[in-house]
Amino acid sequence: MTVRVRMAPSPTGEPHIGNVRTAVFNWLFARKMGGQFILRIEDTDRTRYQPETVMVIMDGLHWLGLDWDEGPGLEELQYLGLENAGEYAVGGPCGPYTQSERLAMYKEVAEELIERGWAYRCNCTPERLEQVRERQRARKQMLMYDRHCRNLPTDAISPDEPHVIRLKVPLEGQTIVPDTIKGDVAFENEGIDDQVLLKSDGFPTYHLAVVVDDHFMEITHIIRGDDWIPSTPKRILIYQAMGWEVPIYCHVPLVNGPDGKKLSKRHGATSITEFRNQGYLPEALFNFLALLGWAPGEGEEQEIFSRKELIERFDLFRVNRAPAAFSYDKLDWMDGVYIRGLSEEGLLERLLPFWQKAGLVPDPYPDEKWEWLRGIVPLVQERLKRLEEVVEWTAFLFREIEPPLAEKLVGKKMTPEESLMALRRVQSLLAELEPFEPEAMEPPMRALAEELGLKAGQLFGVVRWAVTGQKVAPPLFGSLAVLGREQVLTRLEAAETVLAASI
Protein backbone atom coordinates (compact mmCIF):
# COMPACT_ATOMS: atom_id res chain seq x y z
CA MET A 1 0.00 0.00 0.00
CA THR A 2 1.32 3.43 -0.88
CA VAL A 3 0.83 5.72 2.05
CA ARG A 4 -1.07 8.91 1.20
CA VAL A 5 -1.69 11.52 3.85
CA ARG A 6 -2.91 15.07 3.71
CA MET A 7 -3.01 18.41 5.39
CA ALA A 8 -6.44 19.88 4.81
CA PRO A 9 -6.59 23.39 6.24
CA SER A 10 -9.71 25.53 6.28
CA PRO A 11 -8.34 28.93 5.28
CA THR A 12 -10.35 31.07 7.66
CA GLY A 13 -7.48 32.34 9.82
CA GLU A 14 -3.83 31.86 10.65
CA PRO A 15 -3.13 28.18 11.21
CA HIS A 16 -2.45 27.34 14.84
CA ILE A 17 0.97 25.91 15.59
CA GLY A 18 -0.81 22.76 16.83
CA ASN A 19 -2.10 22.18 13.30
CA VAL A 20 1.37 22.76 11.96
CA ARG A 21 2.69 20.13 14.37
CA THR A 22 0.08 17.74 12.96
CA ALA A 23 1.29 18.61 9.45
CA VAL A 24 4.83 17.74 10.58
CA PHE A 25 3.62 14.31 11.71
CA ASN A 26 1.84 13.77 8.39
CA TRP A 27 4.91 14.80 6.45
CA LEU A 28 7.32 12.67 8.49
CA PHE A 29 5.08 9.67 8.08
CA ALA A 30 4.77 10.17 4.33
CA ARG A 31 8.52 10.62 3.90
CA LYS A 32 9.35 7.65 6.09
CA MET A 33 6.97 5.37 4.21
CA GLY A 34 7.96 6.68 0.79
CA GLY A 35 4.41 7.91 0.36
CA GLN A 36 2.75 11.18 -0.59
CA PHE A 37 1.85 14.27 1.38
CA ILE A 38 -1.06 16.18 -0.11
CA LEU A 39 -2.24 19.73 0.47
CA ARG A 40 -5.99 20.26 0.12
CA ILE A 41 -7.79 23.53 0.64
CA GLU A 42 -11.07 23.09 2.52
CA ASP A 43 -12.89 26.27 1.62
CA THR A 44 -16.52 25.17 1.81
CA ASP A 45 -17.14 27.99 4.26
CA ARG A 46 -16.90 30.67 1.58
CA THR A 47 -18.10 33.48 3.84
CA ARG A 48 -15.05 33.10 6.05
CA TYR A 49 -12.62 32.36 3.23
CA GLN A 50 -9.39 34.42 3.34
CA PRO A 51 -7.06 33.97 0.36
CA GLU A 52 -4.11 35.41 2.27
CA THR A 53 -4.43 32.55 4.74
CA VAL A 54 -3.80 30.01 1.99
CA MET A 55 -0.64 31.92 1.23
CA VAL A 56 0.39 31.96 4.90
CA ILE A 57 -0.12 28.20 5.05
CA MET A 58 1.90 27.53 1.92
CA ASP A 59 4.66 29.94 2.97
CA GLY A 60 4.76 28.31 6.39
CA LEU A 61 4.95 24.76 5.07
CA HIS A 62 7.60 25.77 2.56
CA TRP A 63 9.63 27.61 5.20
CA LEU A 64 9.57 24.56 7.47
CA GLY A 65 10.63 22.36 4.58
CA LEU A 66 7.35 20.43 4.40
CA ASP A 67 7.12 20.02 0.64
CA TRP A 68 3.86 18.65 -0.71
CA ASP A 69 3.58 16.14 -3.54
CA GLU A 70 0.11 17.12 -4.69
CA GLY A 71 -1.84 20.30 -4.19
CA PRO A 72 -3.39 23.23 -6.05
CA GLY A 73 -1.91 23.85 -9.48
CA LEU A 74 -1.36 27.19 -11.15
CA GLU A 75 -4.93 27.72 -12.34
CA GLU A 76 -6.31 26.71 -8.99
CA LEU A 77 -4.07 29.17 -7.20
CA GLN A 78 -5.37 31.89 -9.48
CA TYR A 79 -8.91 30.74 -8.81
CA LEU A 80 -8.10 30.98 -5.07
CA GLY A 81 -7.20 34.63 -5.59
CA LEU A 82 -3.44 34.11 -5.39
CA GLU A 83 -1.87 35.70 -8.43
CA ASN A 84 1.73 35.59 -7.22
CA ALA A 85 1.91 32.11 -5.78
CA GLY A 86 3.24 30.41 -8.91
CA GLU A 87 6.21 28.92 -7.08
CA TYR A 88 3.77 26.85 -5.03
CA ALA A 89 1.86 25.40 -7.99
CA VAL A 90 2.05 21.61 -7.78
CA GLY A 91 -1.09 20.03 -9.22
CA GLY A 92 -1.53 16.27 -9.36
CA PRO A 93 -3.73 13.44 -10.62
CA CYS A 94 -6.53 13.85 -8.05
CA GLY A 95 -7.26 17.56 -8.57
CA PRO A 96 -8.74 19.96 -8.13
CA TYR A 97 -7.38 20.21 -4.60
CA THR A 98 -9.76 22.96 -3.57
CA GLN A 99 -13.15 21.93 -2.28
CA SER A 100 -15.19 24.71 -3.84
CA GLU A 101 -14.02 23.43 -7.23
CA ARG A 102 -15.33 19.94 -6.56
CA LEU A 103 -19.01 20.69 -5.95
CA ALA A 104 -20.34 18.36 -8.65
CA MET A 105 -18.66 15.39 -7.01
CA TYR A 106 -20.27 16.04 -3.63
CA LYS A 107 -23.70 16.45 -5.15
CA GLU A 108 -23.37 13.18 -7.00
CA VAL A 109 -22.41 11.32 -3.83
CA ALA A 110 -25.23 12.95 -1.85
CA GLU A 111 -27.76 11.83 -4.50
CA GLU A 112 -26.32 8.35 -4.48
CA LEU A 113 -26.67 8.21 -0.70
CA ILE A 114 -30.39 8.97 -1.17
CA GLU A 115 -30.68 6.17 -3.71
CA ARG A 116 -28.94 3.80 -1.34
CA GLY A 117 -31.41 4.71 1.42
CA TRP A 118 -28.77 6.43 3.53
CA ALA A 119 -29.84 10.01 3.08
CA TYR A 120 -33.01 12.05 2.57
CA ARG A 121 -34.18 15.46 1.43
CA CYS A 122 -35.31 17.92 4.04
CA ASN A 123 -37.08 21.23 3.47
CA CYS A 124 -37.61 22.31 7.06
CA THR A 125 -37.46 26.08 7.31
CA PRO A 126 -34.94 27.80 9.59
CA GLU A 127 -37.91 28.94 11.71
CA ARG A 128 -39.11 25.38 12.23
CA LEU A 129 -35.59 24.20 13.10
CA GLU A 130 -35.30 27.00 15.63
CA GLN A 131 -38.61 25.98 17.22
CA VAL A 132 -37.35 22.41 17.51
CA ARG A 133 -34.20 23.61 19.21
CA GLU A 134 -36.21 25.86 21.54
CA ARG A 135 -38.26 22.89 22.61
CA GLN A 136 -35.20 20.77 23.15
CA ARG A 137 -33.53 23.50 25.15
CA ALA A 138 -36.60 23.85 27.36
CA ARG A 139 -36.58 20.11 27.99
CA LYS A 140 -32.82 20.10 28.46
CA GLN A 141 -32.46 17.61 25.62
CA MET A 142 -29.57 17.24 23.22
CA LEU A 143 -29.94 19.73 20.35
CA MET A 144 -30.42 17.76 17.18
CA TYR A 145 -32.68 17.57 14.16
CA ASP A 146 -35.98 15.85 15.07
CA ARG A 147 -35.97 13.77 11.87
CA HIS A 148 -39.23 15.31 10.68
CA CYS A 149 -38.55 14.83 6.95
CA ARG A 150 -36.96 11.43 7.39
CA ASN A 151 -40.33 9.77 7.53
CA LEU A 152 -41.91 11.55 4.56
CA PRO A 153 -42.51 9.52 1.40
CA THR A 154 -39.39 9.66 -0.81
CA ASP A 155 -41.07 11.77 -3.49
CA ALA A 156 -42.58 14.25 -1.02
CA ILE A 157 -39.81 16.77 -1.66
CA SER A 158 -38.90 17.42 -5.28
CA PRO A 159 -35.20 17.72 -6.19
CA ASP A 160 -36.10 21.04 -7.83
CA GLU A 161 -37.40 22.81 -4.74
CA PRO A 162 -35.03 24.33 -2.15
CA HIS A 163 -33.92 21.65 0.29
CA VAL A 164 -30.94 20.13 2.04
CA ILE A 165 -29.81 16.51 2.05
CA ARG A 166 -29.34 14.85 5.42
CA LEU A 167 -27.59 11.68 6.50
CA LYS A 168 -29.93 8.94 7.69
CA VAL A 169 -28.14 7.82 10.83
CA PRO A 170 -29.24 4.39 12.12
CA LEU A 171 -31.51 4.79 15.12
CA GLU A 172 -29.92 1.98 17.08
CA GLY A 173 -26.56 0.37 17.63
CA GLN A 174 -23.13 1.88 17.81
CA THR A 175 -20.60 3.29 15.41
CA ILE A 176 -17.02 2.48 16.26
CA VAL A 177 -14.18 4.80 15.37
CA PRO A 178 -11.11 2.58 15.15
CA ASP A 179 -8.09 4.65 16.00
CA THR A 180 -4.48 3.56 16.04
CA ILE A 181 -3.52 5.97 18.79
CA LYS A 182 -6.65 6.05 20.95
CA GLY A 183 -7.90 2.51 20.34
CA ASP A 184 -11.57 1.94 19.45
CA VAL A 185 -13.93 4.73 20.43
CA ALA A 186 -17.64 3.77 20.41
CA PHE A 187 -20.53 6.18 19.79
CA GLU A 188 -24.22 5.40 20.34
CA ASN A 189 -26.02 6.02 17.06
CA GLU A 190 -29.05 7.52 18.76
CA GLY A 191 -26.85 10.44 19.84
CA ILE A 192 -25.64 11.18 16.32
CA ASP A 193 -27.45 13.95 14.48
CA ASP A 194 -28.95 13.48 11.03
CA GLN A 195 -26.25 15.76 9.75
CA VAL A 196 -26.80 18.04 6.74
CA LEU A 197 -24.55 16.77 3.95
CA LEU A 198 -25.51 19.10 1.15
CA LYS A 199 -26.80 22.61 1.77
CA SER A 200 -29.55 24.25 -0.23
CA ASP A 201 -26.99 26.35 -2.13
CA GLY A 202 -25.38 23.17 -3.47
CA PHE A 203 -22.35 23.43 -1.21
CA PRO A 204 -21.48 20.36 0.81
CA THR A 205 -20.99 20.57 4.52
CA TYR A 206 -17.53 19.82 5.67
CA HIS A 207 -18.46 16.28 6.76
CA LEU A 208 -19.49 15.15 3.31
CA ALA A 209 -16.70 16.96 1.48
CA VAL A 210 -13.95 15.55 3.63
CA VAL A 211 -15.09 11.97 3.13
CA VAL A 212 -15.55 12.30 -0.62
CA ASP A 213 -12.17 13.95 -1.01
CA ASP A 214 -10.30 11.55 1.23
CA HIS A 215 -11.84 8.68 -0.72
CA PHE A 216 -11.16 9.96 -4.23
CA MET A 217 -7.72 11.23 -3.28
CA GLU A 218 -7.01 7.74 -1.96
CA ILE A 219 -5.93 8.94 1.45
CA THR A 220 -4.76 5.96 3.49
CA HIS A 221 -4.12 7.52 6.91
CA ILE A 222 -5.95 10.42 8.48
CA ILE A 223 -3.60 12.02 10.95
CA ARG A 224 -5.22 14.97 12.67
CA GLY A 225 -6.03 16.53 16.03
CA ASP A 226 -8.16 14.50 18.40
CA ASP A 227 -10.71 17.29 18.66
CA TRP A 228 -12.10 15.80 15.44
CA ILE A 229 -13.00 12.46 17.04
CA PRO A 230 -16.61 13.41 17.91
CA SER A 231 -17.43 14.15 14.28
CA THR A 232 -15.80 11.00 12.95
CA PRO A 233 -18.73 8.54 13.40
CA LYS A 234 -20.76 10.52 10.83
CA ARG A 235 -17.94 10.08 8.38
CA ILE A 236 -17.59 6.40 9.06
CA LEU A 237 -21.31 6.01 8.36
CA ILE A 238 -20.84 7.72 4.99
CA TYR A 239 -17.97 5.39 4.10
CA GLN A 240 -20.08 2.40 5.06
CA ALA A 241 -23.11 3.68 3.18
CA MET A 242 -21.05 4.12 0.02
CA GLY A 243 -19.28 0.80 0.46
CA TRP A 244 -15.92 2.56 0.60
CA GLU A 245 -12.93 1.43 2.58
CA VAL A 246 -12.50 3.42 5.80
CA PRO A 247 -9.02 4.99 6.03
CA ILE A 248 -6.84 4.43 9.07
CA TYR A 249 -7.52 7.07 11.70
CA CYS A 250 -4.69 8.42 13.84
CA HIS A 251 -6.01 11.14 16.11
CA VAL A 252 -3.14 12.91 17.77
CA PRO A 253 -3.56 14.69 21.11
CA LEU A 254 -3.71 18.46 21.02
CA VAL A 255 -0.96 20.84 22.01
CA ASN A 256 -1.37 22.59 25.34
CA GLY A 257 0.47 25.52 26.85
CA PRO A 258 3.12 25.06 29.54
CA ASP A 259 0.34 25.28 32.16
CA GLY A 260 -1.60 22.38 30.68
CA LYS A 261 -4.38 24.59 29.27
CA LYS A 262 -5.12 24.81 25.55
CA LEU A 263 -2.26 26.67 23.86
CA SER A 264 -3.43 30.20 23.10
CA LYS A 265 -2.23 33.77 22.59
CA ARG A 266 -2.11 34.10 26.36
CA HIS A 267 0.88 31.76 26.40
CA GLY A 268 2.81 33.43 23.56
CA ALA A 269 3.15 33.00 19.84
CA THR A 270 0.70 30.52 18.31
CA SER A 271 0.92 31.16 14.58
CA ILE A 272 3.73 30.11 12.35
CA THR A 273 4.19 33.67 11.11
CA GLU A 274 4.87 34.87 14.64
CA PHE A 275 7.49 32.20 15.24
CA ARG A 276 9.09 33.10 11.96
CA ASN A 277 9.12 36.83 12.71
CA GLN A 278 10.60 36.23 16.13
CA GLY A 279 13.55 34.62 14.45
CA TYR A 280 13.30 30.93 15.17
CA LEU A 281 15.24 28.87 12.66
CA PRO A 282 12.93 26.63 10.63
CA GLU A 283 15.13 23.60 11.27
CA ALA A 284 14.92 24.20 15.04
CA LEU A 285 11.15 24.68 14.98
CA PHE A 286 10.77 21.57 12.85
CA ASN A 287 12.87 19.51 15.30
CA PHE A 288 10.90 20.94 18.22
CA LEU A 289 7.49 20.26 16.66
CA ALA A 290 8.46 16.71 15.73
CA LEU A 291 9.16 16.00 19.40
CA LEU A 292 5.93 17.60 20.57
CA GLY A 293 3.93 14.55 21.53
CA TRP A 294 6.30 12.00 20.11
CA ALA A 295 9.67 10.66 21.24
CA PRO A 296 11.99 8.50 19.21
CA GLY A 297 12.38 5.93 21.97
CA GLU A 298 11.84 5.08 25.60
CA GLY A 299 14.36 6.93 27.77
CA GLU A 300 15.91 8.62 24.74
CA GLU A 301 17.79 11.68 25.96
CA GLN A 302 18.97 13.08 22.68
CA GLU A 303 16.76 15.94 21.55
CA ILE A 304 18.58 17.39 18.58
CA PHE A 305 17.88 15.37 15.46
CA SER A 306 18.55 16.10 11.84
CA ARG A 307 15.66 15.98 9.42
CA LYS A 308 17.01 12.73 8.03
CA GLU A 309 17.17 11.12 11.47
CA LEU A 310 13.65 12.23 12.27
CA ILE A 311 12.35 10.70 9.05
CA GLU A 312 14.14 7.44 9.80
CA ARG A 313 13.01 7.23 13.39
CA PHE A 314 9.47 8.63 13.20
CA ASP A 315 6.91 6.12 14.40
CA LEU A 316 3.31 7.22 14.07
CA PHE A 317 2.14 4.47 16.34
CA ARG A 318 4.24 5.69 19.23
CA VAL A 319 2.67 9.14 19.35
CA ASN A 320 1.71 9.94 22.95
CA ARG A 321 -1.86 9.57 24.05
CA ALA A 322 -1.65 12.51 26.42
CA PRO A 323 -1.66 16.13 25.22
CA ALA A 324 1.74 17.65 24.59
CA ALA A 325 2.87 20.71 26.56
CA PHE A 326 4.43 23.46 24.48
CA SER A 327 7.50 24.79 26.28
CA TYR A 328 8.72 28.11 24.92
CA ASP A 329 11.85 27.77 27.09
CA LYS A 330 12.71 24.50 25.46
CA LEU A 331 12.14 25.95 22.01
CA ASP A 332 14.45 28.87 22.88
CA TRP A 333 17.09 26.46 24.09
CA MET A 334 16.80 24.34 20.97
CA ASP A 335 16.94 27.36 18.71
CA GLY A 336 20.10 28.52 20.50
CA VAL A 337 21.68 25.12 19.84
CA TYR A 338 20.86 25.40 16.13
CA ILE A 339 22.11 29.00 15.98
CA ARG A 340 25.44 27.99 17.54
CA GLY A 341 25.68 25.18 15.02
CA LEU A 342 25.60 27.54 12.02
CA SER A 343 28.74 28.74 10.28
CA GLU A 344 29.51 32.45 10.66
CA GLU A 345 28.55 33.08 7.08
CA GLY A 346 25.36 31.01 7.50
CA LEU A 347 24.28 32.93 10.59
CA LEU A 348 25.10 36.23 8.91
CA GLU A 349 22.79 35.41 6.02
CA ARG A 350 19.98 34.63 8.46
CA LEU A 351 20.56 37.76 10.53
CA LEU A 352 20.71 40.14 7.59
CA PRO A 353 16.93 40.28 6.97
CA PHE A 354 16.32 41.09 10.64
CA TRP A 355 18.73 44.00 10.54
CA GLN A 356 17.23 45.12 7.24
CA LYS A 357 13.69 44.94 8.52
CA ALA A 358 14.67 47.07 11.51
CA GLY A 359 16.16 49.62 9.11
CA LEU A 360 19.66 49.17 10.54
CA VAL A 361 21.31 48.12 7.30
CA PRO A 362 20.36 48.86 3.70
CA ASP A 363 18.74 46.37 1.38
CA PRO A 364 20.59 45.30 -0.74
CA TYR A 365 23.59 45.31 1.51
CA PRO A 366 26.83 46.58 -0.13
CA ASP A 367 29.33 43.78 -0.73
CA GLU A 368 32.29 45.80 0.42
CA LYS A 369 30.82 46.10 3.93
CA TRP A 370 30.16 42.37 4.26
CA GLU A 371 33.40 41.71 6.18
CA TRP A 372 32.54 44.39 8.71
CA LEU A 373 29.10 42.86 9.24
CA ARG A 374 30.58 39.42 9.57
CA GLY A 375 32.69 40.73 12.47
CA ILE A 376 29.51 41.12 14.52
CA VAL A 377 28.51 37.48 14.22
CA PRO A 378 30.98 35.99 16.74
CA LEU A 379 29.89 38.63 19.24
CA VAL A 380 26.31 37.35 19.27
CA GLN A 381 26.41 33.74 18.14
CA GLU A 382 27.00 32.22 21.58
CA ARG A 383 24.16 34.06 23.23
CA LEU A 384 21.33 34.41 20.74
CA LYS A 385 18.22 32.37 21.37
CA ARG A 386 16.24 33.92 18.53
CA LEU A 387 17.52 35.84 15.54
CA GLU A 388 15.30 38.83 16.27
CA GLU A 389 17.16 39.52 19.52
CA VAL A 390 20.11 40.68 17.47
CA VAL A 391 18.34 43.93 16.59
CA GLU A 392 18.13 45.20 20.15
CA TRP A 393 21.54 43.94 21.12
CA THR A 394 23.43 45.42 18.23
CA ALA A 395 21.53 48.55 17.16
CA PHE A 396 24.26 50.72 18.76
CA LEU A 397 26.77 49.37 16.25
CA PHE A 398 24.79 50.71 13.31
CA ARG A 399 23.51 54.07 14.40
CA GLU A 400 24.45 57.04 16.52
CA ILE A 401 23.42 56.72 20.13
CA GLU A 402 21.98 59.35 22.38
CA PRO A 403 24.63 60.16 25.02
CA PRO A 404 23.47 58.28 28.14
CA LEU A 405 22.14 60.10 31.20
CA ALA A 406 24.86 61.12 33.64
CA GLU A 407 23.55 58.79 36.35
CA LYS A 408 24.03 55.81 34.03
CA LEU A 409 27.63 56.78 33.49
CA VAL A 410 28.52 56.65 37.16
CA GLY A 411 30.09 53.26 37.86
CA LYS A 412 29.10 50.97 40.68
CA LYS A 413 30.39 52.29 44.02
CA MET A 414 32.12 55.15 42.17
CA THR A 415 31.67 58.92 42.32
CA PRO A 416 30.88 60.95 39.19
CA GLU A 417 34.39 62.43 39.42
CA GLU A 418 36.00 58.98 39.51
CA SER A 419 33.88 57.84 36.58
CA LEU A 420 34.81 60.90 34.54
CA MET A 421 38.45 60.40 35.26
CA ALA A 422 38.22 56.72 34.33
CA LEU A 423 36.59 57.56 31.01
CA ARG A 424 39.29 60.11 30.22
CA ARG A 425 42.02 57.58 30.95
CA VAL A 426 40.30 54.98 28.77
CA GLN A 427 40.02 57.52 26.01
CA SER A 428 43.74 58.27 25.96
CA LEU A 429 44.56 54.57 26.21
CA LEU A 430 42.36 53.66 23.25
CA ALA A 431 43.53 56.65 21.21
CA GLU A 432 47.04 55.22 21.14
CA LEU A 433 46.36 51.47 21.15
CA GLU A 434 47.77 49.43 18.29
CA PRO A 435 46.25 47.34 16.85
CA PHE A 436 42.67 48.31 17.68
CA GLU A 437 41.74 44.67 18.32
CA PRO A 438 40.03 42.94 21.26
CA GLU A 439 43.13 40.91 22.22
CA ALA A 440 45.21 44.08 22.38
CA MET A 441 42.61 45.96 24.45
CA GLU A 442 42.04 43.64 27.33
CA PRO A 443 45.43 43.57 29.13
CA PRO A 444 45.97 47.36 29.27
CA MET A 445 42.34 47.95 30.24
CA ARG A 446 42.68 45.52 33.14
CA ALA A 447 45.94 47.11 34.17
CA LEU A 448 44.25 50.51 34.08
CA ALA A 449 41.45 49.30 36.35
CA GLU A 450 44.04 48.10 38.83
CA GLU A 451 45.93 51.36 38.70
CA LEU A 452 42.70 53.27 39.41
CA GLY A 453 41.87 50.93 42.30
CA LEU A 454 38.78 49.62 40.49
CA LYS A 455 37.53 46.17 39.76
CA ALA A 456 37.65 45.38 36.06
CA GLY A 457 33.83 45.03 36.05
CA GLN A 458 33.41 48.55 37.45
CA LEU A 459 35.54 50.11 34.78
CA PHE A 460 34.11 48.05 31.93
CA GLY A 461 30.58 48.89 33.06
CA VAL A 462 31.22 52.62 32.73
CA VAL A 463 32.80 52.19 29.30
CA ARG A 464 29.95 49.93 28.17
CA TRP A 465 27.33 52.54 29.04
CA ALA A 466 29.36 55.30 27.41
CA VAL A 467 29.92 53.47 24.14
CA THR A 468 26.78 51.35 23.69
CA GLY A 469 24.20 53.42 25.55
CA GLN A 470 22.84 50.26 27.11
CA LYS A 471 23.49 48.05 30.08
CA VAL A 472 23.57 44.71 28.34
CA ALA A 473 25.50 44.43 25.12
CA PRO A 474 27.67 41.91 23.31
CA PRO A 475 31.23 41.43 24.65
CA LEU A 476 32.77 44.84 25.21
CA PHE A 477 36.12 44.64 23.42
CA GLY A 478 34.65 42.92 20.38
CA SER A 479 32.04 45.67 20.20
CA LEU A 480 34.67 48.40 20.46
CA ALA A 481 36.67 46.83 17.65
CA VAL A 482 33.60 46.60 15.39
CA LEU A 483 32.67 50.21 16.12
CA GLY A 484 36.17 51.37 15.23
CA ARG A 485 38.48 53.73 17.01
CA GLU A 486 36.97 56.95 15.74
CA GLN A 487 33.42 56.15 16.80
CA VAL A 488 34.56 54.87 20.18
CA LEU A 489 36.53 58.03 20.90
CA THR A 490 33.65 60.25 19.80
CA ARG A 491 31.24 58.41 22.10
CA LEU A 492 33.65 58.50 25.03
CA GLU A 493 34.03 62.21 24.59
CA ALA A 494 30.27 62.77 24.44
CA ALA A 495 29.84 60.76 27.62
CA GLU A 496 32.57 62.75 29.34
CA THR A 497 30.83 66.00 28.42
CA VAL A 498 27.59 64.72 29.96
CA LEU A 499 29.34 63.64 33.14
CA ALA A 500 31.35 66.84 33.44
CA ALA A 501 28.18 68.93 33.10
CA SER A 502 26.58 67.00 35.95
CA ILE A 503 29.35 67.57 38.44
- Active site residues per annotation: 265
Closer residue to ligand GLU (CB): 41 or 347? 41
The contacts of residue 246 (CB under 8 Å, 6+ apart) are 178, 236, 239, 240
CA atoms within 13 A on the CB side of 457: 4
- Measure the CA–CA gap between 327 and 415, rounded to whole angstroms: 45
Cβ atoms 253, 280 nearer than 8 A:
no
Which lies closer to ligand GLU via its Cβ, residue 40 or residue 408?
40
* 161 phi and psi angles, rounded to 5 deg: -90, 160
**226/496 with CB nearer ligand GLU:** 226
Show the site string, 40-79: x = touches ligand GLU by CB under 6 A, - = not: --x-------------------------------------
Cβ proximity to ligand GLU, 18 vs 411, nearer residue? 18
Contact segment (CB under 6 A) with ligand GLU among 8-16, 139-147, 359-367, 471-479 equals: 8-16
Least spacing, CB of residue 44 vs ligand GLU, in Å? 9
Between residue 321 and residue 350, which ones bind ligand GLU under the rule CB under 6 A? Answer: none
Residues 366-425 that bind ligand GLU (CB under 6 A): none
CA 394/CA 222 separation, integer angstroms = 47
Nearest distance from C-beta of residue 42 to ligand GLU, angstroms:
4
The nearer residue to ligand GLU, 209 or 483, going by C-beta atoms, is 209
**Closest distance of CB 28 from ligand GLU, Å:** 16
**Residue 213 C-beta: closest distance to ligand GLU, Å:** 9
- In whole angstroms, what is the distance from residue 295 CA to residue 337 CA? 19
Q: Is 73 helix (H, G, I), strand (E, B) or coil?
A: coil
Rounded to the nearest whole angstrom, what is the least distance from the CB of residue 204 to ligand GLU in the complex?
12
Contact predicate 442/475, CB 8 Å: no
Output 138-147 pairs: Cβ under 8 A, ≥24 positions apart: 142/191, 144/193, 144/194, 145/193, 145/194, 147/194
Of the candidate spans 2-10, 63-71, 162-170, 426-434, the one that interacts with ligand GLU by CB under 6 A turns out to be 2-10
Pick the closer one to ligand GLU by CB: 163 or 251. Answer: 251
Q: Which of 231, 220, 215, 224 is nearest to 181 (CA)?
A: 224
Stretch that binds ligand GLU, among 5-13, 170-178, 329-337, 397-405 (CB under 6 A): 5-13
What's the closest the beta carbon of residue 36 comes to ligand GLU, in angstroms? 16
Whether 90 and 71 have beta carbons less than 8 Å apart is answered as yes
* Binding range to ligand GLU, per CB under 6 A, among 3-11, 192-200, 327-335, 385-393: 3-11
Other Cβ atoms less than 10 A from the Cβ of 317: the count is 8
DSSP assignment letter at 28:
H
Q: CA-to-CA distance for 246 and 263, rounded, in angstroms?
A: 31
User: Shortest gap between Cβ of 50 and ligand GLU (angstroms)?
Assistant: 13
Answer yes or no whether residue 14 interacts with ligand GLU by CB under 6 A: no
Total number of residues that touch ligand GLU (CB under 6 A): 7
Helix (H) or strand (E) holding 174: strand 174-177
In terms of CB distance, is 227 or 400 closer to ligand GLU?
Answer: 227
- DSSP character string of 40-66: -B----GGG--HHHHHHHHHHHHHHT-
Over the range 235-264, which residues count as b (16 or more CB within 10 Å of their CB) and which as e?
bbbbeebbeeebbbbbbbbbbbbeeeeebe
Stretch that binds ligand GLU, among 6-14, 75-83, 189-197, 325-333 (CB under 6 A): 6-14
Q: Nearest approach, Cβ of 315 to ligand GLU (angstroms)?
A: 21
Nearest CA-CA partner of 475 in 389, 355, 378: 378
CB 375 within 8 A of CB 481: yes
Residue 42 or 226: which CB sits closer to ligand GLU?
42
Which position among 16, 21, 102, 224 is part of the footprint of ligand GLU (CB under 6 A)?
A: 224
Q: Between 99 and 287, whose beta carbon lies closer to ligand GLU?
A: 99
Q: Which residue among 4, 9, 217, 319 contacts ligand GLU (CB under 6 A)?
A: 9
Q: Does 210 bind ligand GLU (CB under 6 A)?
A: yes
**Secondary structure (H, E, C), 244-260:** CCCCEEEEECCEECCCC
When asked if residue 10 is in the footprint of ligand GLU (CB under 6 A), the reply is: yes
Using the Cα atoms of residue 179, residue 184, residue 189 and residue 192 in order, give the sign of their dihedral: negative
Return the number of the residue (114 or 252) whose C-beta is nearest ligand GLU.
252
Candidate list 228, 239, 244, 436; residue touching ligand GLU; CB under 6 A:
228
Shortest reach from residue 271's CB to ligand GLU, in Å:
14
Residue 478 CB, shortest distance to ligand GLU, in Å, is 48
| From 7-15, 324-332, 458-466, 474-482, span contacting ligand GLU (CB under 6 A) | 7-15
Q: DSSP strand E in 66-134: where?
A: 119-122
Residue 379: what residue type? Answer: L
Residues in contact with ligand GLU by CB under 6 A are 8-10, 42, 210, 224, 228
